[in-house]
Each structure stands twice: as C-alpha cells, then as structure tokens.
C-alpha cells in the first residue's frame, strides 16, 4: 500500500484585494439572489457566469414542493448559458447566498451534483472554470472544478468506441 496525497491550493481574498471584474461578477450574483424561489429553505442562492465573450448570465435556485425537482442556482445558470450561448465557454462562476437575514459570512461551495455539471462544462469547452465563492468575511477563489472534485468521473471514463 502507498498513500496518495491530493493537494489543492485555493486563494482567499478580502473584498478590496479582488479585481474589479471579479467584484462586479460577485455583486451580480448577490443581486440575483433577489430572484431566487426558495419558499422551502428560505436560502437564496445566486450564481453569475462570465462567458468568454464577456456576456454575463445569472441564475438562482428554484425550489419545488417535490423537493428533488428543484434546481440549484449554479445549474440553473449553467444550463441557461449553455442553451442560449452554446458556443461560449464559461470563464468564471461567482456564487453568493443569503438567508432571510443577510448574506452568509462563510462562503458556500457548490453541491456534488453542481460540481459534476461544472466538470462537464469544463470538459465540453476544454477550459477550466474559475469559481469565486462569496462570503461576507472573505472570498475564496478556486482555479478549476477538479480542485473541488478530485478523482472525478467524466466522459473519458466511458468506453464510447
Ligand atoms: N443551493 C444552491 O442553489 N446552490 C448551492 O451551492 C447549495 C444549495 C440551494 C438548493 C436549495 O434550494 C437551497 O439552496 C437549500 O439547500
């Protein structure tokens, strides 16, 4: 037996340290939480995507009385972007979340299903997606989804030959 160590380096920023473009994308993710439909969790999530051509797309979580039928903000935004701009790779994804009281102090990270969809989008466009996780206290930057999803399963594992 030999242990295998997986190391990932994430960057933690204070708000003032962020590039203006990143601040803008995060602000849009925050603003879009107002369009969340979250009557069951009262937890409003906003995602803002910057596409390669500069287009920005936002999405929010959309809940349903049949809970699993709802969708997270990240997948709502990505599927919308891929539907409307199928030739535009996603460059950056910003995620923000709030309760009924305020934006959360600690960043949230995308759920497992969203990570899998982000991975597919990276593979589809052959480009890593930078992810900015907003928290009031600090912002985390992830350089690509494999930092959040090591040992991932993608299409290359399928024998399609
Ligand atoms: N949610 C998201 O939209 N994105 C995440 O990254 C985590 C969770 C949503 C799903 C559900 O509507 C609510 O937050 C509570 O889980």
Ligand 1 atom 5: residue of nearest CA: 110
Residue 147: inside a domain, yes or no?
no
Structure confidence at residue 97 as a pLDDT band (50, 70, 90): very high
Residue 88: inside a domain, yes or no?
yes
CATH number at residue 40: 3.40.140.10
Residue 10: inside a domain, yes or no?
no
Structure confidence at residue 159 as a pLDDT band (50, 70, 90): confident
Residue 11: inside a domain, yes or no?
no
Are 107 and 71 in contact by the 8 Å Cβ rule? The answer is no
pLDDT tens-digit readout, 17-51: 999 999 999 999 999 999 999 999 999 999 999 99
Residue 6: inside a domain, yes or no?
no
CA–CA separation, 36 and 47 (whole Å): 10
Q: Both tokens of residue 119?
A: 């991975």
Q: What is the mean pLDDT of residues 87-108?
A: 96
Q: Tell me, what's the pLDDT at 160?
A: 72
Is 17 assigned a catalytic role? Answer: no
Kindly report the average pLDDT of the chain as a whole number: 96
Residue 150: inside a domain, yes or no?
no
Query: The domain containing residue 33 runs over which residues?
Result: 17-141
Ligand 1 atom 9: residue of nearest CA: 72
Q: Which of 71, 99, 111, 132 is the pocket-test mutation for ligand 1 (most atoms within 8 Å of CB)?
A: 111
Residue 142 confidence (pLDDT) above 80: yes
- Of 17, 31, 74, 120, the catalytic one is 74
Residue 54: inside a domain, yes or no?
yes
Domain count, the chain: 1
pTM of the model: 0.96
């Amino acid at each position: 037996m030999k242990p295998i160590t997986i190391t990932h380096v994430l960057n933690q920023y204070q708000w003032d340290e962020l590039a203006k473009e990143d601040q803008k994308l995060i602000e849009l993710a925050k603003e879009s939480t107002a369009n969340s439909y979250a009557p069951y969790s009262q937890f409003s999530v906003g995602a803002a995507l910057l596409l390669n051509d500069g287009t920005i797309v936002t999405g929010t979580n959309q809940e349903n009385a049949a809970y699993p039928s709802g969708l997270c903000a990240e997948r709502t935004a990505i599927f919308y972007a891929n539907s409307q701009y199928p030739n535009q790779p996603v460059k950056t994804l910003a995620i923000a979340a709030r309760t009924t009281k305020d934006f959360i102090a600690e960043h949230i990270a995308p759920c497992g299903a969203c990570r899998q969809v982000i991975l597919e989008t990276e593979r589809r466009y052959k480009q890593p997606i930078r992810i900015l996780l907003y928290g009031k206290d600090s912002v985390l930057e992830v350089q690509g989804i494999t930092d959040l999803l090591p040992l991932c399963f993608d299409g290359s594992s399928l024998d399609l030959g």
